[in-house]
Structure 1
Amino acid sequence: QDDSRHGTGALKDAKGLLHEGAFDHDRRHGEAVWHLPRSVKFYGVWENDVRQPGGKFVFPSTDTYRGDWDETRHVRHGDGSCDYENGDRYEGEWRDDERSGAGVLTYGNGDRYEGGFAGNRRHGRGTCVFADGSSY
């Protein structure tokens, strides 16, 4: 008799990360929630035990990130977008879980900055366009 996981269930791996979702013959396969360090949750799809592109990462603050993710360190890394709890939205490059490189930060009040970022801050050349249409 085959004792492999098949159907819906939960699995805690050797690193202590919890996977809740569908399994197919001991492989993560289908929709699931993956519980990561720092109370981050990933909602997405696996095929043959491999996380598929897409899905979303939700942080304890309710910030929601969609994009590239470093599977080893469990941090935002590469291209992605983040919708923040305060109404702001960032689209652009991430490095080591920080906004870094080219990006666009749209504030909840409608102001917008497009340009460089380093260490989560505006850095270098960029353009600010304010909600009233004026720019800097």
Structure 2
Amino acid sequence: MGAGSSQDGFCECKDVVNRIVHADTVDEYAMHMVAATDEMEARPDADEVCKAVKISPVAALPSKKPKAQARPKLEDKDGGNYQGEWLGCYRHGRGTQVWSDGSRFSGQWFHDVPHGLGRLEQEDIYDGQWKHGKASGHGIHIATNRVRYEGEWLNDMKHGHGEEHYNDGGRFSGSYEEGKKSGEGTFRWPDGSEYKGFFHEDLICGQGKQKWSDGRMYEGQWEANQIHGKGRFKWPDGRSYVGDYQRGLRHGTGTFRWPDGKVYQGGWEQGKQHGHGSLTDKAGKTIEGEWSKGLRVQ
């Protein structure tokens, strides 16, 4: 082996060693070792040099990953500052960043972005889990109007199960999707009224049941926060209606019962008897006829 070839082999070997020693994981180490074996078989001169420097799995595999290190507070040109741990030139580990506008994040960092547990204080506040710079996981958010949400997050949006409390005493508990109430949930008003059922994009929509504080109750279909479709409505004085609704009004076909036993069955329009119907009085006598805007016309 000549001097020139030995030097070339040494350079090749040095490059292989460098890749192996700087492997971050066991998988990367194994990958580089396989590649090194292939290279050494193809270059006998380099193989001899590598044997001379005694490459071994024990020597090459990194025992520990680089550790984050604390450094003095760093001021930036915009007036903000960071104090905490670094990994190279990245904020990494625990630290606090204060921006020039007064916003502040204190918590865990990973490669220069919030990742793990942390608290962001600006006009609103978020305290909880982060993933790659975005609120993801479980967290608490207090909005500028002091509305408080606690629950699941995904990519900076309420997503999953959560509970929201409002300033007037109302609250919601249920499912969120991409920042909006969607799926099953329960909404309670300050006066004690309650809705249990389905939501879609922040609106009551689908099957649900609402009880009002004055004793009224409706169970049935909803659309865009309004009673819409088929359902049953009961009043505390004994009245009831079963039938069709349109945008909050009785509309279509339905049956209305009074507490004294009187019953109307037939057509409805805009909340009033309309079209063909029958009326049975409390004595059991039934008459059929036509109604218009709540009045029998024939």
**TM-score, with length taken from structure 1:** 0.69
Structure-1 residue corresponding to 2:269: 118
Counterpart Cα distance in 1 of 2:251 and 2:205? 24
Which residue type is aligned with residue 86 of structure 1? D
- Following TM superposition, by how much is the alpha carbon of 1:62 offset from its aligned partner in structure 2, in angstroms? 2.0
For residues 97 and 40 of structure 1, do their structure 2 counterparts lie closer, same or farther at Cα, with a shift above 3 Å needed? farther
Which AA in structure 2 matches 1:56? K
**Structure 1: segments with no counterpart, 5+ residues:** none
Amino acid at match of 1:18: R
Q: Could you list the runs of 5+ residues in structure 2 that have no partner in the other structure?
A: 1-115, 117-128, 130-136, 139-150, 153-160, 288-298
Among 60, 69, 73, which residue is 2:222 paired with? 69
1:10 corresponds in structure 2 to 163
Report the alpha carbon displacement of residue 67 of structure 1 after superposing the two structures with TM: 0.6
Structure having greater relative contact order (Cα 8 Å, sep ≥ 6)? 1
RMSD between superposed Cα atoms in Å:
3.6
Query: Residue type of the partner of 1:103?
Result: G
Supply the distance in 1 between the matched residues of 2:222 and 2:279 (Cα, whole angstroms).
Answer: 28
CA distance in 2, matches of 1:98, 1:59: 17
Matched, 1:85 2:236: yes
Once the two structures are superposed, residues 4-50 of structure 1 have per-residue CA deviations (whole angstroms, 9 ceiling, x without a partner) of 227x973158xxx7313689xx99899853136x985202478xxxx
* Structure that is richer in strand per residue: 1
* Residue number in structure 2 paired with 1:109: 260
SS in structure 2 of the partner of residue 101 of structure 1 = strand
**Equivalent of 2:196, from 23, 43, 58?**
43
Aligned to 1:19: 172
2:241–2:256 CA contact under 8 A, matched in 1? yes
Which structure has the greater CA radius of gyration?
2
- Write the distance in 2 (CA, Å) between the matches of 1:122 and 1:84: 18
| CA deviation after TM superposition for structure 1 residue 77, in Å | 0.6
> Aligned AA for 1:42?
Y
Local SS of the residue matching 2:214: coil
Q: Does 1:57 align with 2:233?
A: no
Q: TM-score, normalised by structure 2?
A: 0.35
* Closer, same or farther: CA 45–69 of 1 in aligned 2, 3 Å: closer
Query: 2: CA distance between counterparts of 1:84 and 1:133?
Result: 22
Cα distance change on mapping 1:31 and 1:86 into 2, 3 Å: same
